[in-house]
Structure 1
């Protein structure tokens, strides 16, 4: 197999990683459902999107430092694992004894979703840059298109789950988390099994003081 074809095949799991990056937009898709289920006020419901994006402030700089130590692929893989765990936790909220404990589970889930997405946003572009020698701009643009697909279908799946007359496993709108969990597992396994030879990272990542 030529290097060109091998590179194109390597990009497939990376594009699935871009899809998992779009999981973060499910927060807006399920906020109304959560507000109704948990009896939240408008301000409490609006806190969830803020909770997700707060983690960009905390983890963007450490991710650059981590990427220098463990490599681009492992950093992206870590972000997918955290994101997959984030969409896995809400599937178990029915086992929590109280509404308050269920709500705290969602807080943890959305925090992990924000952490995973912050790591992903910081590390996936350098990985693509390393894999693609030409057509970098178009490849990154296509990756954002793939991400947008996840953002687009999230509210559709949540609405379907909430209104269907035959809810799967009684999950209702939480069926969105189950479907995204399956995709996350596929992305984790596929990228983990994909061999990527990384070029040594030159220089030193900027730390907090430098930034």
Structure 2
């Protein structure tokens, strides 16, 4: 009997939960800093260990996926993640810790390239695909919300110096996800002739002005996401003197609001034109950052952190789905190209770290605001106009 698309989509959607594991870099970077005595600038490179791999691996994996198949590529990513999550248990030092983060990033980069288009294998309706991608972002946001709790669970169990006990918990969950997907029959996508895909042909897609602006849109929305997660606890500590226990509440507020925003987006995007939704949300995001920049009140700033998470929550899925639908016959290449832009998370956070070191926490907020200003241009410029005339 033929399996219904919803049942085939379930293990794929659960894969978005694994995708959210990379967001533990926000809270765990504080423990890494204390464990090894790193400076704020050095600590700013911790997210880079995770997100820089998107820059180097996404396009080659997107092209190679034509040979491997999307499902097999997802399973490969999960295998790499499991290996990385076991390393700190073998021996815990700065080297193995950095290697664990790197393998988490490598696995996550491959996962994001392959998991998003794998939904295309079971969901063919354009509007339903956008909604399903947003549903995936809800699940990813839930994972991001749970991530700090997993880290704190490890701290409560083994003490602050055993925070890395969170890694095997993440690894075991990844293993369960891989087994579920492996046992679920999913029809393989049509093969593409290898002569048609190459690194140069993928980058050639950026000659299309719309694809280029959407590529940069992904770069900066991930920068906003990772950057806000990264500075949230530091903002409350540096500006208001919150202690170590209290500051952990800031990233949780961010992820909770991002989860609610993504959940609302699932339903809103099936009823409202995505370009209108994009424009309204990005303007609200600017407003939240401006208030955060100018008003120094702890609850107001905490609310602004949550507001950025809420209003930015659906932007990634809107931009990504538009890019995929722009040229469906090149979905694998475009997926690799777009996920390359996720490296924005690894580029923006060191810049934030330098800005904080130079002029304080206000520098981190200004860098995040600059990212949002580009997204505003993306929403109201050429790419936004094309979105308004597409299947959205």
> TM-score surpassing 0.5?
yes
Tell me, in whole angstroms, the C-alpha distance in 1 between the residues paired with 2:7 and 2:168: 27
- 1:82 matched to 2:75: no
Distance 1:120 1:132, change over 3 A: same
Tell whether the 8 Å contact from 1:20 to 1:83 is kept in structure 2 after alignment.
Answer: no
Tell me, in whole angstroms, the C-alpha distance in 2 between the residues paired with 1:180 and 1:52: 15
Q: Deviations over 1:64-87 (max 9, x none)?
A: 111100101001111111122222
- 1:186 matched to 2:147: no
Tell me, in whole angstroms, the C-alpha distance in 1 between the residues paired with 2:123 and 2:161: 40
- Secondary structure, aligned partner of 1:198: coil
TM-score of the aligned structures, taking structure 2 as reference length: 0.48
Structure 1 segment 73-152 matched on structure 2, within 5 A: 73-94=71-92, 102-134=93-125, 135-152=128-145
Q: Deviations over 1:71-126 (max 9, x none)?
A: 010011111111222222122234xxxxxxx1111111111111111111111111
Number of residues paired by the alignment?
199
Q: Which has the higher contact order (CA 8 A, sep 6+)?
A: 1
TM-score of the aligned structures, taking structure 1 as reference length: 0.85
Per the alignment, residue 341 of structure 2 pairs with none
**Could you say which structure has the larger radius of gyration?**
2
Per the alignment, residue 47 of structure 1 pairs with 45
Unaligned runs of 5+ in 2: 204-392
Indicate the RMSD between aligned Cα atoms, in angstroms: 2.1
Per the alignment, residue 172 of structure 1 pairs with 162
